[in-house]
Structure 1
């Protein structure tokens, strides 16, 4: 756990992985587009892995940090996310597909040049292998060119559905008791938090023979923020869901989005121990 004090005195507490023996640096906080909404969101890139940031706040809580007390008991938690989810809308736009035309092959550094979002450049070293799973790749000399492939994306999403479904069945016996189609809809609803409705949610529902309108209604039923919930799901590279609490599994959305950081920052500089001349008290 680390904490950081901003110039205006605001304290932020973050639980994140240590760089460890295999870490190449102290990590970077990156501002990237959320794959569903397209709005700016914070992500942590550390140990060649991408993490999304969740925000938690319970009433009547404080932090004891070193020799002083932080009245705001909120918490930022980093959870791993498969970078393919984050990159799908970027690669979808980059191929410039029109009707039956499959689109263009493009180089990675060209695809990752997003005006106002320099953070994508930090992901270049890990995306060549990650995006090969959902892209056609052509080697011309020593240069690789990528183009998103719909059939590969659907196959990848179906693998995610299968793995996440198995995880849900182990998290809560209620999933094992309910109709298989209902569980499948719950799984797609979770994945839908990271996917554009068009084309991916629609194509996935069509492939799985699910009713998209019914799925949308289920998502709306779970749209109310639950800031005190003991469980949050993280879509990881293994396609499963990771629980951060012990309560029965429920599909929830974060009660509050994390604040946006401009560009990228060194995590070591941001989350160093705050020093104060006087001890704060509540």
Structure 2
């Protein structure tokens, strides 16, 4: 864990792999499109792995950093993410599929050229290794050409769904008590946070014989349950007071709060220990 102090005095605390910050791989913050919304979001690229950044903030928290106290108790956590999720919408658009036409084969340099998002070029080595699992690949001379393949994507998603389902069964006994279809619905709902509804969530539901509308309803019910739990927890933290902030209800459905940053930075420069100590002025 490390922290960084910006020019305007803002403190950021990050939990992330630390071997890259002191080794040869310094790591970088990359601005990429979120695979679900398409909105710019920050990702950490370090040690040839991609991590998503999540920002968590609870009421009445602070940090003791060195010899001073940071009143803002916000926390950044980097968690590994399969780069295929990030690249799936990029490769989908690049093939320019129409009706029954499977689309075009394209070079990686063409596919990852996204105006306003130079960060994708840093992922070139990772993309070449990872996207073969969901693409048809042709070697012409020394050049590789890629085209997304629907059947390979569905197979990859089914493998992800099965692995996630097994994880849920071991983490929460409530999943073991419900029927398999309900657990699969929860799994697809989680995966859906990183997938476009069309075509991928829709195709996955069809393959698993799940009703997409029923899945959406269950996701809404799950979010409402989360909201109620958050309200109850907040009331307990405030000594049982009933004056729960209504803003919590609006943000509870998001589950995770991600703070958007811009541009790409060297992680060693951005998250280094703040050396300027703060002292109280006494007169």
Q: Counterparts in 2 of 1:99-178, with a 5 A limit? A: 99-178=99-178
Structure 2: unaligned runs, 5 residues or longer: 232-251
Cα deviations by residue, 1:9-40 (Å, 9 ceiling, x for unpaired): 10000000013599641100011000000101
Alpha-carbon distance in 1 for matches of 2:155, 2:211 = 19
2:220 equivalent in structure 1: 220
Alpha-carbon distance in 2 for matches of 1:228, 1:48 = 37
How many matched pairs? 259
Alpha-carbon distance in 1 for matches of 2:148, 2:187 = 24
What SS class does the counterpart of residue 115 from structure 1 fall into?
Answer: coil
The alpha-carbon deviation at position 252 of structure 1 amounts to 7.2
CA contact (8 A) 1:56 1:228 kept: no
Could you state the TM-score of these two structures normalised by the residue count of structure 2? 0.87
The alpha-carbon deviation at position 161 of structure 1 amounts to 0.7
CA contact (8 A) 1:136 1:149 kept: yes
Cα deviations by residue, 1:179-210 (Å, 9 ceiling, x for unpaired): 11100100000000000000000000000000
From the superposition, tell whether residues 77 and 21 of structure 1 become closer, same or farther in structure 2 (CA, over 3 Å).
closer
Alpha-carbon distance in 1 for matches of 2:49, 2:164 = 20
1:7 equivalent in structure 2: 7
Larger Rg: 2
Alpha-carbon distance in 2 for matches of 1:171, 1:111 = 38
Alpha-carbon distance in 2 for matches of 1:136, 1:22 = 38
Q: Counterparts in 2 of 1:165-204, with a 5 A limit? A: 165-204=165-204
Could you state the TM-score of these two structures normalised by the residue count of structure 1? 0.87
Alpha-carbon distance in 2 for matches of 1:139, 1:76 = 41
The alpha-carbon deviation at position 219 of structure 1 amounts to 1.8
1:234 equivalent in structure 2: none
CA root-mean-square deviation: 2.2
Higher helix share: 2
Q: Is residue 46 from structure 1 mapped to residue 46 from structure 2 by the alignment? A: yes
Q: Counterparts in 2 of 1:237-248, with a 5 A limit? A: none
The alpha-carbon deviation at position 254 of structure 1 amounts to 3.4
What SS class does the counterpart of residue 60 from structure 2 fall into?
Answer: coil
Structure 1: unaligned runs, 5 residues or longer: 230-250
